[in-house]
Structure 1
Amino acid sequence: MTDKREKMRLLGLAFAGADLVFEIDDAGVITFVLGAVEQITGKSDADLVGQGWGKLFASSEEPTLRAALEALRPGKRNGPVRMALASGEGRRLQRFADLSLFRLPQNPPRVSCSLSIGGAGHGRPARDARGLVPANDFNAVAEASINQGELGPLDLIELKGLARVLSQLDPSAAGDLQQRLSSLLRLASRDGVGAVEVADEKFAMLGQSAVSLEELGDRLAAAAGPGVSSEHARLDFSTGEPQTALKAMRFALDRFLTAGPTVVAQGFAAVMSDTVRQVTEFRRTLDERSFKLVYQPIVAIGSDRLHHFEALARFDGESSPADSIRLAEELDLIIEFDMAVIDTVCDVLARAAKPVMIAANISAISLLQPAVRAHLQRAAHMGQKIRRGLLLEITETKAFSDLALASRAIGALRDMGFAVCIDDFGAGSASLDYLRHFEVDFVKIDGRFISQLGERRDAAVLRHVVALCADLGVKTIAEGVETKEVAEAARALGVDYGQGWHFGKPTATPEWTSASAASSGPLLARRRGEVEQWG
Structure 2
Amino acid sequence: MNPRHLSGIGRRLRGLGVPVVSPRYEALARQAADEVLVTSPEGTVRFLSPSFSRRWNLDRWALLGMDAFDWIHPDDRDRAREALRRACLPGAAPVDSEHRYLVLRTGEVRWVRVRFSDARHERSVAGVIWNCVDTTEEKHALEALRFVADHDRLTGLPNRRSLFEALATARAAGATCGLVLIGLDGLRAVNDRLGHSAGDDVVRRTAERLTRVAGGDAVVARLDGDEFALLVTGTERVVGQAVAVLGERCVRAVREPVAVGGRSVVVTAGVGTALAGPAGGPDRPAPADPDGHDRVRELFGHADVALTAAKAAGGDRAVPFSRSLLDARHERAELAADLRQAVGQGQLRVVYQPLVDLAAGSTVGVEALVRWEHPRRGTVSPAVFVPVAEESGTILELGAFVLDEALGAAAGFRAAAGGGVLVSVNLSAHQLLQPGLDGFVADALARHAVDPAVLCLEVTESAAVADLSAARETLLRLRSLGVQTALDDFGTGYSSLSYLRRLPVDKLKIDKSFLDDVADDQGVAVLSGIAALASGLGLTTVAEGIETDQVARLVARAGCTWGQGYHFARPLPEQQAREHLARRPGREGPQNPLWRSTTA
* TMscore range, shorter length: 0.5 to 0.7
- What's the offset of the Cα at 1:435? 1.1
Counterpart in 2 of 1:160?
A: 236
The answer to whether structure 1 residue 380 and structure 2 residue 445 are counterparts is yes
Tell me: CA distance 1:253–1:443, structure 2 relative to 1, closer, same or farther (3 Å): closer
SS at match of 1:480: coil
SS at match of 2:518: coil
Tell me: CA distance 1:199–1:382, structure 2 relative to 1, closer, same or farther (3 Å): closer
- Considering only CA atoms, is the larger Rg found in Structure 1 or Structure 2? 2
Percent of pairs with identical residues: 24
Tell me: CA distance 1:488–1:282, structure 2 relative to 1, closer, same or farther (3 Å): same
Aligned runs of 1:197-346 on 2, under 5 Å?
A: 198-199=272-273, 212-213=291-292, 233-235=295-297, 249-250=304-305, 258=320, 274=331, 277-316=334-373, 320-346=381-407
The answer to whether structure 1 residue 82 and structure 2 residue 147 are counterparts is no
Decide whether the 8 Å contact of 2:351 with 2:371 is kept in 1: yes
Aligned runs of 1:122-521 on 2, under 5 Å?
A: 128-129=210-211, 131-133=219-221, 137=225, 139=227, 159-162=235-238, 198-199=272-273, 212-213=291-292, 233-235=295-297, 249-250=304-305, 258=320, 274=331, 277-316=334-373, 320-352=381-413, 354=415, 355-382=420-447, 385-395=450-460, 397-398=462-463, 400-426=465-491, 429-509=494-574, 510-511=577-578, 512=580, 513=583
Tell me: CA distance 1:338–1:56, structure 2 relative to 1, closer, same or farther (3 Å): same
SS at match of 1:341: helix
Q: TM-score, normalised by structure 2?
A: 0.50
Q: Write the letter of the residue equivalent to 1:500.
A: G
Which stretch has the larger CA shift, 482-491 or 418-427?
A: 418-427
Q: Write the letter of the residue equivalent to 2:353.
A: Q
SS at match of 1:297: strand
Instruction: Return the alpha-carbon distance in structure 2 between the equivalents of residues 456 and 428 of structure 1.
Output: 23
- What's the offset of the Cα at 1:438? 1.0
Larger RCO: 1 or 2 (CA < 8 Å, sep 6+): 1
SS at match of 1:421: strand
Instruction: Return the alpha-carbon distance in structure 2 between the equivalents of residues 157 and 254 of structure 1.
Output: 24
Decide whether the 8 Å contact of 1:364 with 1:396 is kept in 2: no
Counterpart in 2 of 1:30?
A: 111
Q: Write the letter of the residue equivalent to 2:410.
A: L
CA displacement, residues 127-178 of structure 1 (integer Å, 9 cap, x when unaligned) = 552541258757599xxxxxxxxxxxxx9977524469999xxxxxxxxxxx
Gaps of 5+ in 1: 1-21, 34-45, 66-79, 87-92, 102-124, 142-154, 168-195, 204-208, 215-231, 238-244, 520-535
Decide whether the 8 Å contact of 2:407 with 2:445 is kept in 1: no
Counterpart in 2 of 1:109?
A: none
Decide whether the 8 Å contact of 1:445 with 1:477 is kept in 2: yes
Instruction: Return the alpha-carbon distance in structure 2 between the equivalents of residues 267 and 426 of structure 1.
Output: 29
Which stretch has the larger CA shift, 297-306 or 318-327?
A: 318-327
Instruction: Return the alpha-carbon distance in structure 1 between the equivalents of residues 362 and 448 of structure 2.
Output: 26
SS at match of 2:554: helix
Decide whether the 8 Å contact of 1:427 with 1:462 is kept in 2: no
CA displacement, residues 422-453 of structure 1 (integer Å, 9 cap, x when unaligned) = 10112874442331111211110001102211
Tell me: CA distance 1:274–1:25, structure 2 relative to 1, closer, same or farther (3 Å): farther
Instruction: Return the alpha-carbon distance in structure 2 between the equivalents of residues 335 and 236 of structure 1.
Output: 30
Instruction: Return the alpha-carbon distance in structure 2 between the equivalents of residues 412 and 432 of structure 1.
Output: 22
Tell me: CA distance 1:139–1:250, structure 2 relative to 1, closer, same or farther (3 Å): farther
Decide whether the 8 Å contact of 2:336 with 2:392 is kept in 1: yes
Decide whether the 8 Å contact of 1:299 with 1:308 is kept in 2: yes
Counterpart in 2 of 1:49?
A: 135
Instruction: Return the alpha-carbon distance in structure 2 between the equivalents of residues 156 and 213 of structure 1.
Output: 16
Tell me: CA distance 1:446–1:233, structure 2 relative to 1, closer, same or farther (3 Å): same
Tell me: CA distance 1:481–1:24, structure 2 relative to 1, closer, same or farther (3 Å): farther
Decide whether the 8 Å contact of 1:247 with 1:331 is kept in 2: no
Decide whether the 8 Å contact of 1:292 with 1:315 is kept in 2: yes
Quote the RMSD (CA, aligned, Å): 5.0
SS at match of 1:292: strand
Counterpart in 1 of 2:187?
A: none
Decide whether the 8 Å contact of 1:247 with 1:275 is kept in 2: no
Q: TM-score, normalised by structure 1?
A: 0.55
Instruction: Return the alpha-carbon distance in structure 2 between the equivalents of residues 443 and 210 of structure 1.
Output: 56
Q: Write the letter of the residue equivalent to 1:82.
A: D
Instruction: Return the alpha-carbon distance in structure 2 between the equivalents of residues 433 and 286 of structure 1.
Output: 39
SS at match of 1:451: helix
Q: Write the letter of the residue equivalent to 2:536.
A: D
